[in-house]
Structure 1
Amino acid sequence: MSRRHAATIRKTSPDPKFNSIMLAKFINNVTKNGAKSLASSIVYNALSLLERKYDKDPIEVFNKAMENATPLLEVKSLRVGGSNYQVPHAVESRRSTILATRWLIKASQKRPEKSMVEKLAEELFEASCNKGGAVKMKDDSHKVAEANRAFAHFAVKRKKV
């Protein structure tokens, strides 16, 4: 991170099909090696598979999955007096959505189904039902933060310049 200037936050245009900014950011994170059209077809096919298989609104399932996978707490390593402590911190909203998308994609890649469309659809549905790998990663993050609650007094409030 640069010490001189804060990073500029770029605006993301909403996706053309569902008009959702969060879905557009999710598609950007699925993208590998610049193949955004492939990533968008994977995500849209997964959402249509969700609609066909479970008879639910796909954008509602996606939003519920993102909400259930979004962490509230995380730990940051802090060196105090020669010892490293895992200090729990509240997660900022931008970082929490980034973590949720990363965890959903990673958990869907680990699933045993054949295609990425099926993997992503099943992971999104399970995350919307508060199950699945991404929700487990969120719960693990919260457990680590809860276990290190005794070191919360080391948290230093940083000034934003």
Structure 2
Amino acid sequence: MLRTGRSGLRYVQSYGLVNALGNRVAGRVGSMSLRPIAPVQVRMQSQGGNVESNISQTEQASAQEQEQYRLSDEQVDEWMNAIRNLEEEFSQGEYNPATSLAPENQSRVNILEKAMELNKPKFEPTAEQVEEWERLKTVPIPKREDKTLQHVTNMIMRHGKKERAQKILSRALYIVFCQTRKDPVKVLKESLDVLAPLMLVKTFKTGVAKATVVPVPLNQRQRFRVAWKWIVESSAKRSSSDFAVRLGEELVAVYKGNSSGFEKRDSIHKTAIAHRAYINLK
């Protein structure tokens, strides 16, 4: 059975279905007096002899429209039953769309959920998209933030201006990419790992005339901090007035093994090896 509401009744009136029902609707509805809608009168103004052709085109269009909205006897009976049910529902009490639009096996229906289900786009992936999805399932999702980049950004930052430090590092890494044509983040990590010393030497007073030089091992974060300090010191000797340009050129030099920081690293390692007897293993 076709169920309808106030909107369904407006649909009947707006699309000329009352005209298709004709006098059957006007006679059967009863208290709901529905009158057939008069055909639309078209006034046309034209020049010359095009009036007859325009009238014939209008007649053809109206005939096509009537053919499009022509109803069979079964459809007419279905609409009549729907109108009777609507009249009975209005006569019983206040109109409630949640109950009137519910299926036969349900007492109420959630109109909002039904509307969302109808308006929800239906997506069917193609074979290529399914194949790509299966291929990308095993690809690990990259981390949102890299710890090394965060550490370097914090070392560049001055007076809490982190956004400015990020722009400087981004420009420096772009220069690295332009000169090496490789992933600048990997180049940065490799440069820091190669340049960073494994240990530092610290001088301790022993209470006698001679102090003791003790090698102290470093963790990765401490090693990268020392290496970055050397990179910044070496970049200050370059001729460019832009810090990002100097930084990018120095990173490329470290990646190629031409930085002056390697001399500092070798010197620290030689001193640590010479004083290896003072290493505290406890």
The alignment's TM-score, normalised by the length of structure 1, stands at 0.75
Give the number of equivalent residue pairs.
140
2:180 paired residue among 44, 51, 54: 54
Instruction: Provide runs of 4+ in structure 1 moved above 4 Å.
Output: none
Structure 1 vs Structure 2 CA RMSD: 2.2
* Partner residue, 2:161: 35
- Determine if the alignment matches structure 1 residue 73 to structure 2 residue 199: yes
Bigger CA drift: 75-84 or 114-123?
75-84
Task: Decide which structure has greater strand share.
Answer: 1
Deviations 1:96-116 (A, max 9, x none): 122122222222233222311
Contact 2:157 2:165 in 1 (8 A): yes
**Superposed displacement of residue 73, structure 1:** 2.4
Cα deviation code 1:41-100 (max 9, x no counterpart): 011011112212332221121111111111112211122351202222322333212212
Are 1:118 and 2:245 counterparts? yes
| SS of alignment partner, residue 112 of structure 1 | coil
User: Cα gap change, 1:128/1:53 in structure 2, threshold over 3 Å: closer, same or farther?
Assistant: closer
CA contact (8 A) 1:70 1:97 kept: yes
1:84 is matched with 211
Residues of 2 paired with 1:32 and 1:97: CA distance?
A: 19
Aligned pair 1:129/2:256, yes or no?
yes
Distance in 1 (alpha carbons) for counterparts of 2:262 and 2:165? 22
Q: 1:118 to 1:76 in 2, by over 3 A?
A: same
Matched residue type, 1:73: M
Is the 1:123–1:133 contact (alpha carbons within 8 Å) kept by the matching residues of 2? no
Contact 2:204–2:213 (8 Å) recurs in 1: yes
Percentage identity across paired residues of the two chains: 24
Contact 1:30-1:39 within 8 A present in 2 as well: yes
Distance 1:63 1:41 in 2: 18
Aligned to 1:156: 280
Amino acid at match of 2:183: D
> How far apart are 1:24 and its partner, in Å?
1.1
Asked whether the 8 Å contact 1:43–1:117 carries over to 2, the reply is: yes
CA distance in 2, matches of 1:142, 1:106: 19
Higher relative contact order (CA 8 A, sep 6+): 1
Q: Deviations 1:127-146 (Å, cap 9, x if unpaired)? A: 11222133332223223323
Structure 2 distance, partners of 1:78, 1:42, is 39
Q: Which has the larger radius of gyration?
A: 2
Q: TM-score, normalised by structure 2?
A: 0.45
Equivalent position amino acid for 2:152 in 1: F
| Contact kept in structure 1, 2:203 and 2:213, CA below 8 Å | yes
- Quote the residue 2:101 is aligned against: none
Question: How far 1:27 moved relative to its partner?
Answer: 0.7
Structure 2 letter corresponding to 1:155: I
Which secondary structure state, in structure 2, belongs to the residue aligned with residue 24 of structure 1? helix
Q: Could you tell me whether the CA contact under 8 Å between 2:234 and 2:260 is conserved in 1?
A: yes
Q: 2:266 aligns with which of 115, 139, 150?
A: 139
